[in-house]
Amino acid sequence: MTNHYIDLKNSDCILIMGSNAAEHHPIAFKWILRAKEKGAKIIHVDPRYTRTSARCDYHVPLRSGTDIAFLGGMINYIVNNDKWFKDYVLNYTNASFIVGPDFTFQDGLFSGYDAQKRKYNKDTWVLEKDSKGIPKRDMSLNDPRCVFQMMKTHYSRYTLDKVSSITGVSKENLLKVYEEYSATGVKDKAGTECYALGWTHHTTGSQIIRTMSMIQLLLGNMGICGGGVNALRGEPNVQGSTDHAILYNILPGYLKMPPASLDTLDKYLEKNTPVSKDPQSANYYQNYPKFFVSFLKSMFHDKATAENGFGYSWMPKLDDGVHYSLMHLFDKMYEGKIKGLFAVGTDPAVSSPNTNKVRKALEKLDWMVGENIFNNETYSFWKGPGVDPKQVKTEVFLLPASASMEKEGSQSNSGRWVQWKYKAAEAPGDGIPVGEITIKIMAAVRALYAKEGGVHPDPILNLKWDYTDIKGRYDALKVSKQINGYFLKDTVIEDKAAGTKTEFKKGQLVPTFGMLQVDGATASGNWVMAGSFTATGENRMAKRGKDDPTGLGLYPNWSYAWPVNRRIIYNRASCDIYGKPYNPKRKLLEWVGDKWVGDVPDGPWPPQADKEKGKYPFIMKADGLGALFGPGMVEGPFPEHYEPLEGPLAKNPLSGQLINPAIEIFKSDLDKVANADAKFPYVCTTYSCTEHWCSGALTRWQAWLLEMQPELYVEIGDLLARDLGIRNGAKVRVSSIRGAVECVAMVTKRFKPFQIEGKTVHQVGLPFNYGWLFPKDGSDSTNFLTPTVGDANTFCPEYKAFMVNVQKI
Amino acid sequence: MEKELIKLIDTTKCTACRGCQVACKQWNEMPGLKTKQWGSYQNPPDLQWNTWTLIRFQEYVSDKGAFKWLFRKDGCMHCTDAACVKVCPSGALHHTEFGTVGLNSSRCIGCKECVSACPFDIPRYNRETDKIYKCDLCYNRLRGDESPSCVKSCPTGALTIGRKDAMTKKAYARAKELGGDANVYGDKFVGGTHVLYVLDEKAKVYDNLPRDPSVPFSIIVWKDMLKPLALLAAGGVLAGSFLHYILHGPKLPDEPGPNEPGKEEKGGE
């Protein structure tokens, strides 16, 4: 989240789209209701009427996978009806920048596309610079090549008629949402957006979120109280997994995973350290080398020296152009190229797309190690439905782990608050924390390497690995301090602005990432967490102060929010260029005299009207401004609507390009696709329910929860059910070209048919919380239906839009 | 009554998360039983001996064609003029100092008089224990100055509890604020209930919610008018019971209770 949960109460208009907040974030939803009680409008845009819709002002149904069309139409509306916040857009976005002369967009494709590789060459996606290397700007926004005009032209195609025909949303409803939401494009109003898996689970997921970011920039809703783009991340630890890099493509603190071609530290740092010639751009990522070298020091400590590139060569590298997402992993496993698997706290035999392929892939493993609090369908795949245990060679080990309440440590919530918590109970039986299991396994591995050498032993043997307490057990506090970081030698930190010098002793904790060093004087396992402890060792994550000096619900002394306890990021954009708050009633920050007062500002510099010392507000962007033109994405600088891999249409109504041109197409014999196929006429989407958690591997064993949601069901609109002769509560078979599940029909008025390109299109939906292991009559994984395909940037799988058939049994 | 409490259920703030349904079972140590998906989120389908509170899910289309998904937390209304208390021969059902209707399970003789008397269809009988079950508004928590477990679990503020006067005022203020068909349900009948609803729609719209609940006339005749006569006969009954005890010994349950191993899968009634 750019903001945080409590801040939702400060909003004037909350668009919930791509989220079923009431069902999946029931506690967070409290703050949405607080806003509603104060008069905010709450809008739910979702294919299905859910428990969230029931508590919103109104619900607008849209066909799964058409969010960019819906939001693109909103950009068109905002621009044409002059709803954009001019002061903000001119000063705080790249609207006035000039797009390079060779950049084009034609019939759904941007310049530089290679159809063979399904990949763009981004060389033409550039902004023009003057002779000093500073971006050229046209502050009148009239230049036809300026970002604003290019954007306006791009979205002029997203007319009400066109958008309505693609999304199935009536024109009246489109206008209603557009008018209501864009009314926040003024100084004293704030609009926010809440999304979750309903946006990320698409082949265009990242671009949906980017489209919303553009809307928020146009309306001046970024960096303000009650604004922002807010991912509601849940207990599956999405926030922690990205902050601490459980994903393949990043290192802790969102540092980039090195590819093989960047074979030296210098090459790597040059590639990843952005340069800005604009004196008003803070370009904070110019400090990238400090963060990365400190990370290497945390990995290899004394063994990492300037001479050996701080151990850069010991870091694993990605093959260039190759991805290693969950889907790639199972694809390679299915090919027989992966021999062993650690499945820690996960149940991919239920939760990963294309279950038939996943379960076949598991059979090709030599060994698997599971770490969990319960057995699940993955660890028991060898005795699953249709599997003959005698034919499976895989050796499976299941190690009992303790649950989150049974161990000490930190928890990261969506608002970037990292809260320390203590052990509430002992784990039953032999259960121990996953950290403890890791310590034990690594001790054995290191001993083997020390004894036998083996292939490339250096990374293993040079690793700093002393995270145990005096009894030899995993010590969460020690790990957390390493993540925060230490001074490795006596260091004097000079603050030129304040004219002070402070000396830190070797072994002291680094109190903020601004003090990290590039020469190896500091170690930090995750730079964004530097500051979670004070220099004297106070654990700021354990703070529980209830004071709220701004009255805005920032609670600065409750836990630690990264970065540097900033509660709302980009917060300097809540003030005008002179540092005066746009909305004095919700004063997040103000430039008073020679300093910022309020939330922790995005840097100490004066506001940007001070041409000498002032800086732009978006300090993590090289140009310092919000990006309406965003060349970082793989499928183009302006988000464009493409149909899902499987949809009801044979042609994209907006262009000749049917699907996202940059997605990877998996090609195994089990990766079948049936687009616009009469055999699979219904759009299908999958989701969770309040009563279960993810694959249900933890919650299906809980009798109170199972009593409320005992088995798999498919929600079918009453009109479709009538056509198919399906009664409420009857058993049905739902099938895609990849597989099928049997379940109970829940006939409802909460799914309505859509009118798409002049035709009636029905949508159905199923929860993804069930598996064959338990309960025995609860059916099996919904993911038998889903395709192996994902977002082009993140490879987050498409669980939300594909095609099925529904039949009576 | 100085300590008289009212629990307010504001249906317009309920997200049907069913935290209350689970919290109730947890605090009162009631098991989760085997159910089937029957085409609804509402499960168990009705109140039962192990389910003292239940969120009812109802798809509703108004006369004007507007669709709503209504959620109503069902459970004991804790009447002032409580039919169940009137008919209970053993004193198991009784009024507490909070005005709520308590249930002393050890005194319940399983006669089921309350089941047929209750205008809200709340008490549920368990054949195995030969006792009835219902919400006692977490009497043991109220005694300890804690809110009932359902209220404690509610994330949105749909459930609140407090002094009678204040809560009644709060309910009316909320209904007024909501406008339209919003109304307060509970204070106008059976002497006033100790659970009030703020309903989004008229009471008649909701499934299983009586529009004008009352104590059955037969009970008024028997218990209020003829009770003095019955007291005269009571001495005879006691003497007879004592004689029965001397001759046949105490009455024992026929089957083991529900909390014994292997018994949890059986459904209630």
Parallel, antiparallel, or unpaired: how do β-strands B101-103 and B93-95 relate? Answer: antiparallel
Instruction: Establish, for the pair of chains A and B, how many residue pairs have beta carbons separated by less than 8 Å.
Output: 100
A726 CB near a chain B CB, below 8 Å? no
Q: Name which of B124, B96, B120 is nearest B108 in CA terms.
A: B124
A708 CB near a chain B CB, below 8 Å? yes
For B182-206, the DSSP string reads -EEESTTSTT-BSEEEEESS-GGGS
Helix and strand numbers (H, E) in chain A are 21, 31
Please tell me the pTM assigned to this model. 0.94
What is the CATH architecture of A682-808? Beta Barrel (2.40)
Distance spanning both ends of chain A, measured CA to CA: 45
Q: Kindly determine whether residue B155 and residue A747, on different chains, have CB atoms separated by under 8 Å.
A: no
Report yes or no: A257 and A271 within 8 Å, Cβ to Cβ: no
Q: Kindly determine whether residue B155 and residue A52, on different chains, have CB atoms separated by under 8 Å.
A: no
Among A704, A730, A744, select the one facing B22 at the smallest CB separation.
A704
Task: Give the model's pLDDT for residue B256.
Answer: 44
Strand partners, B184: B198
- What would the mean pLDDT of A724-742 be, rounded to a whole number? 98
Domain count, chain B: 1
Span A361-414, pLDDT tens digits: 999 999 999 999 999 999 999 999 999 999 999 999 999 999 999 999 999 999
B204 CB near a chain A CB, below 8 Å? no
Which H or E run includes A295? helix A288-300
Note which residues in 137-196 of chain B have CB less than 8 A from chain A. 155-157
Distance CA A298, CA A181 (A): 46
Distance CA A360, CA A330 (A): 9
Q: Name which of A281, A217, A287 is nearest A75 in CA terms.
A: A217
- What would the mean pLDDT of A9-32 be, rounded to a whole number? 96
What SS3 class is residue A96? helix
Name the residue of chain B whose CA is nearest to A711's CA: B37
- Checking if the pLDDT of A572 tops 70, the result is yes
- Checking if the pLDDT of A255 tops 50, the result is yes
Q: Name which of A75, A98, A81, A80 is nearest A218 in CA terms.
A: A75
Domain ranges of chain A: 682-808
- Checking if the pLDDT of A505 tops 50, the result is yes
Task: Give the model's pLDDT for residue B236.
Answer: 64
What SS3 class is residue B172? helix
A706 CB near a chain B CB, below 8 Å? yes
Task: Give the model's pLDDT for residue A245.
Answer: 86
- What would the mean pLDDT of A27-48 be, rounded to a whole number? 97
Task: Tell me whether the omega of the peptide bond preceding residue B250 falls within 30 degrees of 0, making it cis.
Answer: no
- Checking if the pLDDT of A785 tops 90, the result is yes
What SS3 class is residue A797? strand
Report yes or no: A787 and A354 within 8 Å, Cβ to Cβ: yes
Task: Give the model's pLDDT for residue A238.
Answer: 82
Residue type, A185: G
- What would the mean pLDDT of A292-317 be, rounded to a whole number? 98
Residue-wise over A79-97: b if at least 16 C-beta within 10 A, else e? beeebbbeebbbbbbbbbb
Name the residue of chain A whose CA is nearest to B67's CA: A749
Task: Give the model's pLDDT for residue B231.
Answer: 60
- Proportion of chain B in helix, strand, coil states, percent, rounded to 5: 30, 20, 50
Among all chains, which residue has been given the structure tokens 């990264």?
A562
Q: Kindly determine whether residue A51 and residue B34, on different chains, have CB atoms separated by under 8 Å.
A: no
Task: Give the model's pLDDT for residue B255.
Answer: 47
Strand partners, B7: B161, B195
Report yes or no: A345 and A659 within 8 Å, Cβ to Cβ: no
Q: Name which of B124, B133, B131, B116 is nearest B255 in CA terms.
A: B131
Q: Kindly determine whether residue B157 and residue A54, on different chains, have CB atoms separated by under 8 Å.
A: no
Question: The domain that contains B69 carries what CATH number?
Answer: 3.30.70.20
Cα–Cα–Cα angle for A755, A46, A42, rounded to 5 degrees: 125
Alpha carbon of B103: minimum distance to chain A alpha carbons (Å)? 23
B31 CB near a chain A CB, below 8 Å? yes
The pLDDT mean for chain A works out to: 97
Q: Kindly determine whether residue A729 and residue B38, on different chains, have CB atoms separated by under 8 Å.
A: yes
Task: Give the model's pLDDT for residue B233.
Answer: 64
Span A420-475, pLDDT tens digits: 999 999 999 999 999 999 999 999 999 999 999 989 999 999 999 999 999 999 99
Confidence of residue A236 (pLDDT cuts 50, 70, 90): low
Report yes or no: A220 and A181 within 8 Å, Cβ to Cβ: no
What residues contact residue A561 under an 8 Å CB cut-off, 6+ apart?
A4, A415, A416, A417, A418, A567
Residues of chain B whose pLDDT is less than 70? Answer: 1, 226-269
Task: Give the model's pLDDT for residue B239.
Answer: 65
Task: Give the model's pLDDT for residue B258.
Answer: 40
A729 CB near a chain B CB, below 8 Å? yes
What residues contact residue A451 under an 8 Å CB cut-off, 6+ apart?
none
Alpha carbon of A422: minimum distance to chain B alpha carbons (Å)? 22
Q: Which domain holds residue B83?
A: 5-218
B35 CB near a chain A CB, below 8 Å? yes
Sign of CA dihedral A319, A323, A329, A331: negative
From residue B249, give the alpha-carbon distance in Å to each of A720, B111, B128, B241: 64, 20, 21, 10
For the stretch A532-539, contacts whose Cβ atoms lie closer than 8 Å and that sit 24 or more positions apart, written own/partner, are A532/A410, A532/A418, A532/A480, A532/A483, A532/A484, A532/A560, A532/A562, A533/A480, A533/A481, A533/A484, A533/A509, A534/A509, A535/A504, A535/A508, A535/A509, A535/A510, A535/A511, A536/A508, A536/A509, A537/A481, A537/A509, A539/A420, A539/A477, A539/A480
Note which residues in 11-50 of chain A have CB less than 8 A from chain B. 22-23, 26-27, 29-30, 33, 49
Mutate to test the interface with B, among A8, A19, A51 (most CBs of B within 10 A): A51
Q: Is B45 inside a domain boundary?
A: yes
Widest pairwise Cα distance in chain A: 79
Report yes or no: A233 and A195 within 8 Å, Cβ to Cβ: no
Alpha carbon of B184: minimum distance to chain A alpha carbons (Å)? 19
Alpha carbon of B93: minimum distance to chain A alpha carbons (Å)? 27
Alpha carbon of B117: minimum distance to chain A alpha carbons (Å)? 28
- Full 3-state SS string of A376-415: CCCCCHHHCCCCCHHHCCCEEEEEEECCHHHCCEEEECCC
Note which residues in 66-105 of chain B have CB less than 8 A from chain A. 67-69, 71
Surface-to-core class of residue A139, CB atoms within 10 Å of its CB (0-12 exposed, 13-18 middle, 19+ buried): exposed
- Checking if the pLDDT of A144 tops 60, the result is yes
Distance CA A93, CA A85 (A): 11
Among B19, B43, B157, select the one facing A710 at the smallest CB separation.
B43
A51 CB near a chain B CB, below 8 Å? yes
- A303 phi and psi angles, rounded to 5 deg: -70, -20
Task: Give the model's pLDDT for residue A377.
Answer: 98
Q: Is B185 inside a domain boundary?
A: yes
Length of chain B: 269
Report yes or no for ipTM above 0.90: yes
Q: Is B42 inside a domain boundary?
A: yes
Q: Kindly determine whether residue B43 and residue A708, on different chains, have CB atoms separated by under 8 Å.
A: yes
